[in-house]
Amino acid sequence: MEATLEIRKPSPPPSLARIAEKVREGVRLDEAEAVEVFRSRDLLQLGQLANLIRERLHGDRTYYNKNFHLNLTNVCEASCRFCAFARLEEGMPLAKTFTVEEAVAFVKEQLPNGPTEVHMVNGLHPGLPFEYYEEALRAVKATAPELHIKGFTAVEIHYYAGKYGMSYEEVIKRLVAAGLGSIPGGGAEIFAPRVRKKICKDKANAEEWLEIHRIAHRLGVKTNCTMLYGTVETAEERADHVLQLRALQDETGGFQAFIPLAFHNENSPLQRLPEPTGFDNLLVYAQSRIVLDNIPHLKAYWVQVGEKLAQVAQSFGVNDLDGTVVSEKIYKMAGAVTPNLLSVGDLCHLIREAGRTPVERDTVYNVVGMPL
């Protein structure tokens, strides 16, 4: 008997079919449906829905920016178990704290590349006065007045408030007065207390992280948000994380972009855990785009998922590639093997080859230009 090849198109489970219907009609998913989305591993179905949302919001545009990273210090009291960047004390191998003069010299070196943004995040250093950070901000601003400083995560702000006896609002206002322009999304990790206890037990908790972003938004300071996935969290805990971000965004509207961050295991206390695969990474982009209906931008941080996967992610909900990213250290020290920077030409090539239109943006998503 001749073998017949039967090609059957799998039909989505009834719950995903209902979710697909809602997404097509632009109706918000409820919490149970959000969990369903994060449980599903139907990459193509989710990708198609995420792409629909992405194109509804942004058409064919993919944003990028010209930026560089500066970490004033990697000396850090916290003991996050995923981190390969921090050093507990000065003098340990690879511990580095910039003097203000060194920070300024580093910024001057970057200026010929025409950056519009410096991404400045730091360890929780037990021995520096708060004035050091203010001086560093003022000095960078005096050196490059047009450069937008996106820096100081909620975790740092929480630490300074406790250490120097200030309210969150005071810390943010003093940093802004010294030159801070916006706050990055780091330190959110996974909000569930069960996970935080296992991977980052001694820094700002979920309520504190969210409260700092709430205050920043009230003060008119834009922020981003992240989710570190691939350590010990469940699908339900990912859904809960994203739903808490959605709820705060309903309240304030101050988040600009969501950036999923894939766990990198090298040189960290969690190095026995496997890293998320490319399939997982695309799933998380698509799932996040579907559930987070009120945060405009979904950013792929190519440094940690690789530039080729970041490119493909443009078909799974992503509309923003960060960025030229000169001098990144947090992921390089955790084993990322991506290049040290991408040129504007490289970024535009990745974007165009995926059938999208590259648009240069500044940190707060004003259009800087459309490259020829």
Q: How far is the CB of 322 from ligand V47 (least distance, A)?
A: 5
Q: Which is nearer to ligand V47, 33 or 189 (CB)?
A: 189
Confirm whether residue 348 is marked as ligand binding: no
Question: What is the smallest separation between the CB atom of 62 and ligand V47, expressed in angstroms?
Answer: 16
Flag whether 83 is marked binding.
Answer: yes
Query: Minimum distance from CB of 257 to ligand V47 (Å)?
Result: 6
Establish whether 189 is an annotated binding residue. Answer: yes
Q: How far is the CB of 111 from ligand V47 (least distance, A)?
A: 21
- Residue 192 or 330 having the CB closest to ligand V47: 330
Residues that bind ligand V47 (CB under 6 A): 82-84, 153, 184-187, 189, 224, 226, 228, 259, 261, 263-264, 268, 301, 322, 330, 334
> Considering beta carbons, is residue 265 or 287 the nearer one to ligand V47?
265
CB of 50 or CB of 188, closer to ligand V47:
188
Nearest approach in angstroms of CB 330 to ligand V47 is 5
Distance (Å, whole) CA 292 – CA 232? 22
21 is in an annotated binding site: no
80 belongs to an annotated ligand binding site = yes
Q: Which is nearer to ligand V47, 40 or 238 (CB)?
A: 238
Closest separation in Å from C-beta 60 to ligand V47: 22
**Considering beta carbons, is residue 23 or 295 the nearer one to ligand V47?**
295
Which residues contribute to the annotated binding site?
A: 76, 80, 82-83, 189
Which residues contribute to the annotated binding site for [4Fe-4S] cluster?
A: 76, 80, 83
Which residues contribute to the annotated binding site for S-adenosyl-L-methionine?
A: 82, 189
